[in-house]
Structure 1
């Protein structure tokens, strides 16, 4: 695969716009590096598009404003800057092209339906203005489309994808820019705080992570030094919280997926965690082939979904009466994050036990998760619901067994469900069976069918 597509020659000395989307870093940024290599002024641009931010979780908005402030500082340190605009992304990018006389727009290729439509429109309208558009890799380790099975357009099952992914040669990393120059007269615009106003300020999860490339790299370094060695043994231990917590950093591109994967691959115990990066790429190549993954069943199963607003609200609030489910849902509320095993458990309860549609789960997670990646969120929800890429769509989820296995001492439950802090032994997993059930904790919404 060429490192970019849709690019033609000409216009060497005209400025190049680098349109940042969810690739908010300066290290290993192919679109930015290619613009610098043209030996012409570079206009780094981010457009705060209400079509996106109006639907984004407050936790993501807060992360984004911090990431943009960090990105502006990094670009200024190299002699450039970050131009911030607010409005429709395509319209504002072309307006900046007119203001600066730019002949090219670079951006990182993405896979969601929204991103695909935005890209098609940008190519079309830019061409009418005589502006070239080039798309580069940078959102995943292996770009969607680079790995294709015989007789198909994408991999539908993870295991063969993983084998192909692991043996595939990854692109080389590119250097961060040392010297940048904005065209004379271009205004960087207002600060990230001003462009967002009150969005992403109040109502945030108390324990959410801060955004930005510096913070992300600090977390990556700490993970490789202190956490990765125990990942294979402890990653499903809910109380241990032994996962990387890098999902939001990857979702916003504050970490390069390729740099992250290379660093983890070189770690003595990194292979198990690198496999999770392959899962991320897997969902992205599925979404590239099936952009409607957020609204339609990937594999229709003719499931008869129920309607129960009270049960749905109880699930959202962590008041289902099933401790392991409520612990996960309350972690989401307090942190804007949920342990991966807990995500599976809470999704199974909603779709398999309450028989409520997976789209309700996708929407609630998307409203709170700081990572909130369309491909991963929707792909995993459909996997659990039996409408996605699971090869065993009728798999049984015994939630009490999951609770006892992955939180055997109940420490995760006690951490997030205060009403059960005094329970001990097996009662913590099924308090309705206790000799004296806690009066302030609800009974289960449904028979778990153990």
Structure 2
């Protein structure tokens, strides 16, 4: 076979890349292709932070290919049409693609496969490129997917894993294949000031450093807000600059409780993908309805805006929301707390919060984002749908000295613990010194009572969804 095309999507790396490895084995020349899919842009998922990170990833991928004698080919437009053009230009006989399981990815694959068939070109789709265990590999006896994580994880952990592949030494690209200029981060507006750098090279350096010095503390420290002991690898896993298979195997070689806890988080990532593969509408509809009638009043709008701006009067909530705006990323415990606060304490539709997160999160992955929001809202796979996280109790547990809170809420920099988590309890001159920090927008007891009444079905009739745009777009995994 003379020429193959490797279509990169959420797998922007050279190490452990089965589609590229297979194409190089079968063909003398390969076209490494990335298509800026206009359908993704039209659906509203081209958020500035992800576009900037993507620009880094594409530049790094191109540099890696050039070191090996190749280059990245970039096109923009309808994905199937653009791939078809490259096939026609080069006479390629195969297109290799990493499997994706969202509704959008399935439609894209069907459209691409049908077009390639008319061109006499075969589409080969590769599993376990962006997952450790492919959706549908393990299923319970009575269903097409697991709805509970623990039994899924038990089966997941027993599955054999493929051996990670090394990066290729040489990549030969046919001459004359045209490419658009690569995007540049500096030309993208609206990017969070402290957004991390993208690309396989920084990803691999970060993974190695974290396995060396952070993995051992992960089990005990991953919920420590002030300690910031998470891996921060989620953006790289989302864009595929790291292989989840390689991450699991390298962690397990290190061994220990920290490795087991980290691998469990990667199993959660696969769990959400197998749920979304079986129930693609869960990206926008309740997985399990609680018959919620979410608040949509003017006061609900004000509460939502205060939540967005980090001005709720609950310091740990405000700290997490400000971190999101500044970094395009949020600590995992902060994500749980802010989601619980919006959906349970303020009783605002989870889709509104999920959409706002997707507008900023560099790791904004539909499967993880939407299904974690549903888990916290009690409409997803959580077996305790009415659990409510108390932000004060949680802050005292996971940020006992107020390090995280003061880092992101400078108005409280001089407030000592435990008042840093309950500044409304300060009196006199101490309270006056922080008069630019708001009082709580809701009493926690009142919010809890309202939530319980709503779940008991004693609130008003359903009303239109709150938010700048409805979450009715197709589920898209490869968010650029």
**Length-normalised TM-score, structure 1:** 0.94
Structure 2 counterparts to residues 21-40 of structure 1, below 5 A: 21-40=9-28
Q: Is residue 81–residue 188 contact of structure 1 (8 Å, CA) maintained in 2? A: no
Q: Is residue 339–residue 377 contact of structure 2 (8 Å, CA) maintained in 1? A: yes
| SS of equivalent residue, structure 1 residue 293 | helix
Aligned mate of 1:446, from 442, 446, 459: 442
Structure 2: which 5+ runs fail to align? 449-480
Partner of 2:427: 435
Aligned-pair CA distance for 1:425 = 2.3
Stretch of structure 1 that moved more, 33-42 or 47-56 = 47-56
Aligned-pair CA distance for 1:56 = 2.0
Q: Is residue 56–residue 366 contact of structure 1 (8 Å, CA) maintained in 2? A: no
Stretch of structure 1 that moved more, 436-445 or 379-388 = 436-445
Aligned-pair CA distance for 1:197 = 8.8
Partner of 1:8: none
| SS of equivalent residue, structure 1 residue 243 | coil
Structure 1: which 5+ runs fail to align? 1-11
| SS of equivalent residue, structure 1 residue 413 | helix
Partner of 1:359: 351
Hey, what's the Cα distance between the residues in 2 that align with 1:260 and 1:197? 30
Q: Is residue 16–residue 166 contact of structure 2 (8 Å, CA) maintained in 1? A: yes
Partner of 1:74: 64
Hey, what's the Cα distance between the residues in 2 that align with 1:171 and 1:425? 49
Hey, what's the Cα distance between the residues in 1 that align with 2:289 and 2:19? 38
Aligned pair count reads 434
Aligned-pair CA distance for 1:120 = 1.5
Q: Is residue 24–residue 67 contact of structure 1 (8 Å, CA) maintained in 2? A: yes
Hey, what's the Cα distance between the residues in 2 that align with 1:292 and 1:37? 38
Q: Deviations over 1:44-87 (max 9, x none)?
A: 10011233245222111111011001101111212221111111
Partner of 1:192: 183
| SS of equivalent residue, structure 1 residue 192 | coil
Aligned mate of 1:373, from 365, 383, 397: 365
Aligned-pair CA distance for 1:187 = 2.5
Aligned-pair CA distance for 1:202 = 2.6
Hey, what's the Cα distance between the residues in 1 that align with 2:401 and 2:206? 28
Q: Deviations over 1:312-359 (max 9, x none)?
A: 111111011111100100000111110000000000000001000001
Hey, what's the Cα distance between the residues in 2 that align with 1:173 and 1:203? 37
Partner of 1:93: 83
| SS of equivalent residue, structure 1 residue 242 | coil
Partner of 1:289: 278
Aligned mate of 1:45, from 12, 17, 33: 33
Hey, what's the Cα distance between the residues in 1 that align with 2:322 and 2:109? 37
Stretch of structure 1 that moved more, 29-38 or 117-126 = 117-126
| SS of equivalent residue, structure 2 residue 367 | helix
| SS of equivalent residue, structure 1 residue 167 | coil
Q: Deviations over 1:18-60 (max 9, x none)?
A: 0000100000001111101103311110011233245222111
Structure 2 counterparts to residues 19-418 of structure 1, below 5 A: 19-53=7-41, 55-137=45-127, 138-193=129-184, 198=187, 201-269=188-256, 270-307=259-296, 308-418=300-410
Q: Is residue 149–residue 155 contact of structure 1 (8 Å, CA) maintained in 2? A: yes
| SS of equivalent residue, structure 2 residue 75 | strand
Q: Deviations over 1:244-293 (max 9, x none)?
A: 00000000000011011100111133111111101111111111111122
**Length-normalised TM-score, structure 2:** 0.88
* Closer/same/farther in 2, CA of residues 435 and 429 from structure 1, 3 Å limit: same
Aligned-pair CA distance for 1:191 = 2.6
Hey, what's the Cα distance between the residues in 1 that align with 2:305 and 2:114? 44
